Chain A
């Protein structure tokens, strides 16, 4: 090294993208694109491993995990495989591995998903919550969202039939300022355990919310390389502009939180 302060440079991170061919309904690969970009800018090598149904999951070789959303049919497809990988995933998350689970992936990171016919799809219980579909006649929760979170304002778009209910003591990812959130009732959105974030928000989430992207990357770097690693700030002018534009749209056409 050349005597500079320890930086993120010349580091390698391994990202596992779970079921990218199946769970990718709402531009979920935008999250991978954003992480890759933010790593490239900082000379961090990001190795992306795509893990499909039946592939083995090696928690020791995973610094950061992503899972996106899918249709009901697709969730049933992955459920058994996810349950098999569940214990290793949960242990890694308990050990501080950062993860982002969006929409359908978020639902299956809870205890279970009860579909519109009452069928139960088992989840892996990373988050202490369950999701129930209120039936085929119920409206989906669709629209622009603004949240207040520990990471500041977060913007995105939600489109889900299931209503998610957090157990007492389960921390949400954020509180709804505009939009529906977990269940259109209690003003919570998503869930958070250690460095794992579950949310309904796509849009894609990470490009327009660089603070969330950097939270995940920072956690991954610190877990692998030690506490002193810092992420250099990037030129986020366009990211900030897109964030603001999305927030403004939500203000004009999404409902204000009922809480």
Chain B
């Protein structure tokens, strides 16, 4: 119960109550104070990383780079990106005296939930804040997309004036955070016309915040991401300082060129992970980490939980591709659409709180991209019937199973696939947790699981 003692020590020191009722009942109130107190002991400052998609992976890549650079760091894990989780991550490293041993040499790499950015910014006075992108996500939890943008502006109003923003130049909703920001900005973006697409999909940014004009695109990569300009005023996509060219994506990894670094390779793949890598490189550059360590850190970075994790089960390679919202799911589908041959694909949709209770977002996902490409499919999760219907309307074949129960789902996978084949599984967050538990129960092996 060291953590409990630490909470007590910290709460005594910050002088609010005797620390006896902690950590349970009143901890809610104390989380920001704990984060502030322990966070202030991080001598190399703190980086906050937020955005709808990619914050977990970007944080992991940055942590990998920091490791290569020999930079001690505190890194909260996914699922710990609310104030409570950030406090817990810090308490785990703190001593019972309420101090952070070695804190003076440490950097904080804090993945931050979109709505948590204002309190996290107030508590941590970050050195760098990185924004990956802004898409619709769990509208039943976060409210409207505009609400999230307003929270981010609120956070920036309380950020230190000498903080550096790392912004995605290709996302106009992120780029507009520069309006009114007087401090430094490091822009990142993609410069590869080969990734241009006309597939619109649901666009979550249409109008310029400065003048209300409509956005036009010289090159559109996906959704509202691309080389945009406002038809009403002079605003346009800023030239990125860190950008990727000549991107090559394979199932086992990606390579691309970055000015100053040359060609880099990583085991992560998909255009979205190129963006995550660019965000991490940009932050690393702001922190003054050298090119060699950045390149090595990228190469060493591993997929986060459920992102391109490969699990062996009775000779099948199950490839897990987490998809939590339309933008993320569309990226996964685009990756699969680029592969050869008939695909075996399972989609698992759940509607627990962490997934978002409203499943209507699946109708904004372009499952039609794989019409005619899917040989066999399966529907799973707490809303298996809903996703089965979505896939039917997208022109996929009738599912081999519509199974809410994970043991039936996996039984059907094994019954209908050949050993040696690849099966792509696209789960929402809690579906992934439940599926992983079922696969573990069956003795499936994943290098990732052994590491965590």
Contact = CB atoms under 8 A, between A and B. Distances in A.
A99 B88 CA distance: 52
A37 interface: yes
Contacts of A27: 360-364
Interface stretch (B4-12, B64-72, B381-389): B381-389
Interface stretch (A28-36, A115-123, A183-191): A28-36
Contacts of B193: none
A113 B382 CA distance: 36
B359 interface: yes
Contacts of B384: 245
A21 B140 contact: no
Interface in A20-45: 21-22, 24-30, 33-34, 37
B209 to A, nearest CB: 10
A71 B145 contact: yes
A246 B386 CA distance: 8
Contact of B358 (A157, A238, A239, A241): A157
A29 B363 contact: yes
Given A27-B363, A30-B363, A140 B143 contact: yes
A4 interface: no
A143 interface: yes
B150 to A, nearest CB: 11
Interface stretch (A80-88, A124-132, A202-210, A221-229): A202-210
Contacts of A72: 144, 146
Contact of B393 (A25, A34, A77, A246): A34
Given A37-B393, A238-B388, A239-B389, A203 B359 contact: yes
Contact of B363 (A140, A143, A207, A241): A207
B203 interface: yes
A157 B351 CA distance: 12
B386 A242 contact: yes
Contacts of B146: 71-73
Interface in A208-245: 208, 238-239, 241-242, 244-245
Contacts of B385: 238, 241-242, 244-245
Nearest to B147: A71
Contacts of A11: none
B388 A242 contact: yes
B392 interface: yes
A61 interface: no
A241 B402 contact: yes
The interface centre, meaning the residue of A22, A144, A208, A242 with most chain B CB atoms within 10 A of its CB, is A242
A91 interface: no
B393 A33 contact: yes
Contact of A143 (B202, B357, B361, B393): B357
A253 interface: yes
Interface size class of B (residues with CB under 8 A): 20 to 34
B248 interface: no
Interface in B82-138: 136
A237 B203 CA distance: 32
A238 B392 contact: yes
Contacts of A28: 363
A159 interface: yes
Nearest to A241: B385
Nearest to B388: A238
B206 interface: yes
A24 B392 CA distance: 21
B360 A253 contact: no
A109 B434 CA distance: 43
Interface string B359-390: 11111100000000000000000111110111
A249 interface: yes
B174 to A, nearest CB: 18
Contact of B139 (A26, A33, A37): A26
The interface centre, meaning the residue of A27, A29, A37, A144 with most chain B CB atoms within 10 A of its CB, is A27
A196 B364 CA distance: 24
A151 interface: no
A94 interface: no
Contacts of B402: 238, 241
A72 B147 CA distance: 11
Interface string B389-414: 11011100000001000000000000
Contacts of B143: 140
Contacts of A77: 207
A143 B357 CA distance: 8
Contacts of A208: 386, 389
The interface centre, meaning the residue of B136, B358, B383 with most chain A CB atoms within 10 A of its CB, is B358
Nearest to B365: A27
A87 to B, nearest CB: 27
Given A143-B140, A242-B389, A245-B386, 10 more contacts: A24-B202, A25-B136, A29-B202, A157-B140, A157-B360, A159-B140, A207-B389, A238-B392, A239-B389, A242-B383
5 contacts: A22-B206, A25-B139, A33-B394, A159-B358, A242-B389
Interface of A: 21-22, 24-30, 33-34, 37, 71-73, 77, 140, 142-144, 157, 159, 202-204, 207-208, 238-239, 241-242, 244-246, 249, 253
